Structure 1
Amino acid sequence: MPTLSVFTDVPLARKLEGSLLKSYKQDEDPKKMFLAYRVCMTDEGHPWISPVVNKLRLQIAQDPSLNYEYMPAMGMKSFIHASLELLLGKHSEAIVENRAGGLHTVGSTGAFQLGARFLRTWYRDARTIYITSLQKELHGFIFQDMGFMVYEYSFWDPKKLCIDHSMLLNVVEQASPSSVLVIGSIGECNLTQSQWAKLMSTMKSKQIFPFFDIPNQGLSTGDLDEDTRILQSFVSQGFEFFCSQSLSKNFGIYDEGVGILVVVALNNQHLLCVLSQLKNYTQALWLTPPTTGARIVTSILSNPALHAEWKYSLKEVVENIMLIKEKVKEKLRLLGTPGNWNHITAQTGTHSYLGLNFQQVEYLVKKKHIYIPKNSLINFTCINANNIDYITQSINEAVLSTRGPVKCLQKINDL
């Protein structure tokens, strides 16, 4: 008698963006390039690591005083404290008033898992999540699996070929009351003070809960404080919020999954209750978080000399990105590539839109073996002196092949 499998009705999961990397690896063309890495890359084509991190790795490996006992479920206290000060500032009123805390998580995904579970259980009126299209694949499905209705929004205006941050205001104005708004990469949200004030006023009136995502503090503008300054406004305006803070990318320790879920409450009593519930979730999910990355981060942030060296390394990365973007724009201008390419240098951060349409992206992938996502959002740290000419010439060919101006066909969902 044949044995019936419990897996008979299990279908293949839908393909994620990782399938693009798989296609790249299977490509045997010697000129192939992949411009969609999530990590920062060096000119040699290797993942970027802050120079100070390598020093700390050696020190930690040779430190005889370290023991490797399990961490508490909350994680390393020193790491949580250092991360909070980095995010909110040492003199933040939330820290001074002891109403800000956090849990050491397994990267940003772990932070979103905790936050989503908590909101599903304790914020019972919240049934709707608004999240950027760029975060949908990483974190949106976490909320979706929890039973939330998830809507996407985008800052990219496909008609004007620019980042339009006023779209965030439109999302809030149309959002359902008692919903959750995920706000990512706030260092790149160039709203004016009056726009932020209007945003916060609308969120308060609708009781919209903010869930911030800070994946690369210091890699947007090159200024650690500037990249998270608006959080202070939310604190001073009396907002309670969650914030996923990832410290993998800006230190170059991608494989460590270093993260924290930050909680800002109205008072210490509320904070302690929230943290106690989150602690129970961690025991069910991973029991104890990994420590090597957290030790590296804590050692750097608590040592003024190492902290300064790390900040300088971030500034170098951002300056190099800005220079590469300028060179790409200038080379396209010299080639006479149709379209206005000012949108490349107008964007901040490691990843920016090229503003190519679907046919142009397909041309790059199939004809030139340059692998980029369908929305043409590329990692500019992947471009260097060795490949910039081939890339810009290929973009020029792709645009000319369509015989039309550059347009972006990225879909922005109506909310």
Structure 2
Amino acid sequence: MPPFDVPEGDPFGPHNLPYGVFSPDGSSDRRVGVRLGDHVLDAGAAARALDFPHAELLSAPNLNPLLAAGPAVWAEVRAALTEWVTRPAHREAVEPLFHELAHVTLHLPFEVADYVDFYASEHHARNVGQIFRPDSPDPLTPNWKHLPIGYHGRAGTVVVSGTDVVRPSGQRKAPADPAPVFGPSIRLDIEAEVGFVVGVPSAQGTPVPLTGFRDHVFGLCLLNDWSARDIQAWEYVPLGPFLGKSFATSVSAWITPLAALEDARVAPPERTHPLLPYLDDSAPGVEPGGYDLRISVAINGQVVAEPPFSTMYWTAAQQLAHLTVNGASLRTGDLYASGTVSGPAEGQRGSLLELTWNGRDPLELPDGKRAFLEDGDVVTFTAWAPGKDGGRIGLGEVEGRIVSG
């Protein structure tokens, strides 16, 4: 099928146009691409062919120059791309510059500067609290409703979808064990998350307000923050996650621009505690910060959960405001993640920790029971968001296969 003839209702139609980086078969050159259906347009080549003023940004080997260019340029580039793939007048020039997705290699689309992971789902936090603190009168920690809890992760191990994940090794110690042992994780888990990609940097010492979210954030993607629960349990007191998290974080090959998700914007859940002014998204002039993203989690092709992102208590705008309120600066390519997305129902939990209640209730899969991941398991996240006139916006999948260390 010709690249322009995208079937009606395709979630990757001209209303979407996510950005990625690809190499055609037989080439090692990395090129900025835009997805249309089952094809990818060489955006730099199209820009040069049509004498587009921002051709240099689209001819880079990654998205960072475009990310740094800012909202006005992002809007110009998106408008031009939409015109190139929809107007018949451009078909002759643009059609030869498409490549079939089946015949390209996809790469990590941007150079990651820093990585921060949050803990923004109340349902997830309550489940975790009930699992590990069953006798506590409140499963949430005292600070949870007052600030978005987060930790600084490892940018160097963010990998693109399709990259194998090597089972990590580290120290483990069960409560009844007399001493720790060293070896591969036996409680390897997933975390279904959404990552937000920063484009425009900020000055150190200058916080970004809630109203500055779309001045700095370019787009979002699906993200799997793999977790070795046994390693994490032994190491995380008192400073938090380290080796149990830092071995791999998988992101989609496609970054969906925020501009494609205008019809998916929703109000966050009702706040139950008063918020300090820098986090107060009920203030005049602050637009709704939630997104209605419908996520599916599959293990070896079997869907095991469908977490709804619309239930997230803390929004991406609040996370950015909190991340910078102490004066920490943003850099182009910063990535921050939502934390595990979980809904109120059992089938909406975004981690095996919750789905199996810490291994007590294993999942029944066609190829056997799973409490946690086994070598050879393939985990795939997909998602879509509501678009204009009842259409759908597809998010690029994120997939990883577990291999032994």
TM more than 0.5: no
Give the TM-score taking structure 2 as reference length: 0.25
Give the TM-score taking structure 1 as reference length: 0.25
Structure with larger Rg: 1
Q: Which structure shows the bigger proportion of residues in helix conformation? A: 1
